[in-house]
Structure 1
Amino acid sequence: MLFSESFQMALTSLYANKMRSLLTMLGIIIGVAAVIALVSVGMGVRSNVTSSIASLGSNMLIISPGASQKGGVRGAAGSRKTLKYDDAKAIEQKVKNIDYVSPTVSSSYQVVYGNNNWNTSVQGVTPELLSIRSLSISNGSFITENDLSKRQRVAVIGTTVAENLFEDKNPVGQNIRINNQPFKVVGLLESKGQSSMGQDQDDMIYIPLTTAMERMLGITYVQSINVQVSDATKMDQVQDEIETLLRQRHHLAAAHKEDDFTVRNLTSLMETVSQSTSMLTLLLGAIAGISLLVGGIGIMNIMMVSVTERTREIGIRKALGATFLNIMTQFLIESMVIGIIGGIIGIGVGCAASEIIARVAGFTTVITWAPILVSFLFSVGIGLFFGIYPARKAARLDPIEALRYE
């Protein structure tokens, strides 16, 4: 019996029992669709988190005031005022393999222009932040060293702030009031859109760090220091040098004294997060894959019923010369066709489900070829594996007993 003839007979048999065939495929369809949809969600989570970390800058170290929590014990009171602007300058001057250092402070303020007002985040920064965060100026200029040294009341605003305060008007050169203090807009940033965590990156105002510290907040410390390392392979070395320098500057030379600062390595953090989200994606795919096994059991069940129903037909074919291999091939092809058709439909349903999740939930999903190919091959393999026993049972039937079967 030719393979093409067996394939055609399999399709005819499935078409003759359309509803039963569809219900049999349902397990495979749901399994494949679930694998694709859940893996796309898992990969979306991974993409979101890694892009969120990457948006802070490449090869980044972030220094925060206060000791890291160990054993549930917090840093001492007042430890959040331990970083100074001079610490940032010392790091820039004394630690090698560093491209940029940018200390920052931030707070939320009401911003007013004419009859319009808007509540937004205001960050005090240095000119280096432009390079660290890969910001682009669409109009005007960014904060300069002159602005920093003279504590100028100048501001660079994001597009969201510009739209709410100025509408269609060019904001550069206009005067706004931040917390009732006058500032001149010197630059407009290009839009960066929402971050992967849903935060509007354009809803931001940048002012000189010295202006923010002395004229707005009235503080003598900084809230964080961003350090961009020139070479990713030297991240750990630079981190150790920064920790040693800050311990010296903060008079923590004694071994028993805890750090009053925390240095976070974003590259290591990204690797850890990537590993965790990969495990999450694998777990989601494995859970969804269980439904494929259930679908395979359904295929075996229906093929067993089909063998019983077609016992007399099998007897006639064997009496006419059909061999053990012919009968095996016919029933294996039928079970594989169920897996193939179910897998193809499942791919379409899974991709559609992934798109629906992305649009309805406002969540990023990532569809790749790997889960599609693996789930499809698995569905075909399931059809083949669970079709072997019914096919063997059909092929081993005694033709005389089969012909006498009512």
Structure 2
Amino acid sequence: MRLWLQLEDAWRAVRAYRLRAVFCALSVALGVGAITIIVAATEGAYKRAYDIVDRFGPDAMLLLGESEEARATGRRERSITVEDVEALRQAFPTAYLVVPMSFRGGIIVSYRNRKHQTRLTGTTADYSLSWSWPVTDGRDLTEQDIKGMRNVALIGRTIVQELFPDEDPLGKSIFVRNLAVQVVGILEERGTTGPGHNLDDRIVMPITTAMKKILNEKDRVQAVRLRFVDPKRMEHFEAEVRQFMRKRHQLQEGQPDDFRIVSPKEIIKFLVALTGSLVVFIGITGLLSLVVAGFVLANLFLLSVSERIPEIGIRRSVGARRRDILFQFLSEAVALTALGGVLGFGIGLLGGPLLKTAAEFPMHFSWRAFAVGMFMATLVGVLFGIQPARKAAAVHPIEAVRKGS
């Protein structure tokens, strides 16, 4: 009962000093809002990373025929040969899929009077299985399509919308550049992976047809997708593939790789690093805001103690103990910062979508964001409210009553 009365007194004091309460709560709210956005951004980045890994395949690896140096300078390299692909199949029986790919953007496809610029991928019959990307209408590519260099293709939903808005594309012939190609299947809709990268805007053809008739490639492919039986050993498989390719390409110790490996671990590292810079910036801003809020709180409460000495004296004279006064003032500080924490979480909820829209940054609000914000707010209340509360508790009751009179 005594504790409840002390809390009621603290809340009445907060309401009595409204202007002070507004300044304290707003200063805390700004810091908590930034902290809330940090937690939401971090969780959003990890969620996006694991979503991409699930889509990429936790048991999958992508071997690209370009080095890191070539990628950085914009040079085109094709270091992976058709013989390399066959050697990988023979050397890694634990890889249940080894799928070569050649691709190129900016390919014009047309049907009657409609044209569309898209991305061409040349691959084998295991393409949709290797990416867990089913063909929803029609059929998949077959080994006969690959061996016979047939002019057939799978198309994404974007091409269906652009070239066939009012009719069924299956069985129709479209022109890929100047080559007539029959549509035999439609890939399941996948959406986008980021700004400007539409997964459904593509056409998939037999790699033999694409290389010989469109891309003018003889024996080199741009990428190989591998899927392994045991996803728990992906780091081990990555090291083995790197060692195998270096040996095949006769790279000496100290020479950089002339290829690049993309694995689930690399995807997570990339997205977490991307998140880090923003988290550091907002984190520093949020912590500084909370420290400033703490000093505002401490100064206002020290001023409040001087103003409320008569009140403290009366309470002490009617039986209030030092710890009661200490608890009351500390409760006021925590109540104000908790109110600021709730407001800060609201600011975070409003600011998060703005950040997501402006920077295409993944945000995910959960109970953790609210819990971290409230913890930080309460911590500020306790740390910066303890000194004014001690000063109030140390007031001598007789001197306080005399000052009041």
The residue that corresponds to 1:99 in the other structure is 96
- C-alpha displacement at 1:247, in angstroms? 5.0
Q: Which moved more, 1:131-140 or 1:84-93?
A: 84-93
State which drifts further: 98-107 or 357-366: 357-366
Matches within 5 A, 1:184-223: 184-220=182-218, 221-223=220-222
Distance 1:32 1:259 in 2: 46
Whole-angstrom CA distance in 2 between matches of 1:197 and 1:46? 18
Amino acid at match of 2:44: G
Which residue does the alignment assign to 1:224?
223
Q: How much does 1:143 deviate?
A: 1.2
Contact 2:329/2:389 (8 A) holds in 1? yes
The worse-fitting range, judged by mean Cα deviation, of 280-289 and 301-310 is 280-289
SS at match of 2:132: coil
Q: CA-to-partner distance for each residue in 1:252-277, whole Å, 9 max, x for gaps?
A: 2x746947732414133135336635
- The residue correspondences of 1:301-340 to structure 2 (distance < 5 A) are 301-340=299-338
Most deviating of 309-318 and 233-242? 233-242
CA distance in 2, matches of 1:224, 1:134: 17
Q: Considering only aligned residues, what root-mean-square deviation do their CA atoms show, in Å?
A: 2.8
Q: How far is the alpha carbon of 1:174 from its aligned partner?
A: 0.9
Please name the residue that 1:9 is paired with.
9
**% identical equivalent positions:** 28
Q: Does structure 1 conserve the Cα–Cα contact (< 8 Å) formed by 2:31 and 2:285?
A: no
The count of residues paired between Structure 1 and Structure 2 equals 401
Task: Extract unaligned runs of 5+ from structure 2.
Answer: none
Q: What CA distance in whole angstroms lies between the structure 1 residues aligned with 2:78 and 2:319?
A: 92
The aligned counterpart of 1:90 is 87
| Cα 1:231–1:198 shift into 2, 3 Å | farther
Query: Which stretch of the first structure deviates more once superposed, 281-290 or 368-377?
Result: 281-290
Q: Do the aligned partners of 2:66 and 2:260 also contact (CA within 8 Å) in 1?
A: no
Deviations 1:307-355 (A, max 9, x none): 1111111112222222212211221111111122111222222122213
Matches within 5 A, 1:348-387: 348-359=346-357, 361-387=359-385
Q: With structure 1 as the length reference, what TM-score do the two structures score? A: 0.89
* Contact 2:294 2:381 survives alignment (8 Å): yes
- Provide Cα deviations, 1:366-395, integer angstroms capped at 9, x if missing partner: 113223212202211221222211111111
Task: Give 1:298 deviation, angstroms.
Answer: 1.6
- Mark the CA change 1:46 to 1:197 in structure 2 (over 3 Å): closer, same or farther: farther
Q: Does structure 1 residue 62 correspond to structure 2 residue 69?
A: no
Q: Which region of structure 1 is more displaced relative to structure 2, 118-127 or 18-27?
A: 18-27
Give the alignment's TM-score, normalised by structure 2.
0.89
CA contact (8 A) 1:43 1:281 kept: no
Show CA shifts across 1:105-144 (max 9, x none). Answer: 1123111111111000111011222122111212101211
Counterpart of 1:102, as a letter, is: V
The within-5 A match list for 1:267-278 is 267-273=264-270, 276=273
Distance 1:356 1:83, change over 3 A: closer
Greater Cα shift, 126-135 or 45-54 = 45-54
Q: Which residue of 2 aligns with 1:402?
A: 400
Q: Which amino acid aligns with 2:273?
A: S
Q: How much does 1:175 deviate?
A: 0.9
Q: Could you say which residue in structure 2 is the equivalent of 1:295?
A: 293
Q: Structure 1's 168 and 272: CA in aligned 2 closer, same or farther, altered over 3 A?
A: same
Shift of 1:214: 0.4
Contact conserved, 2:34 with 2:286, CA < 8 A, in 1?
A: yes
Report what 2:21 is aligned to: 21
Shift of 1:52: 4.0
| Change in 2 beyond 3 A, CA 1:110/1:274 | closer
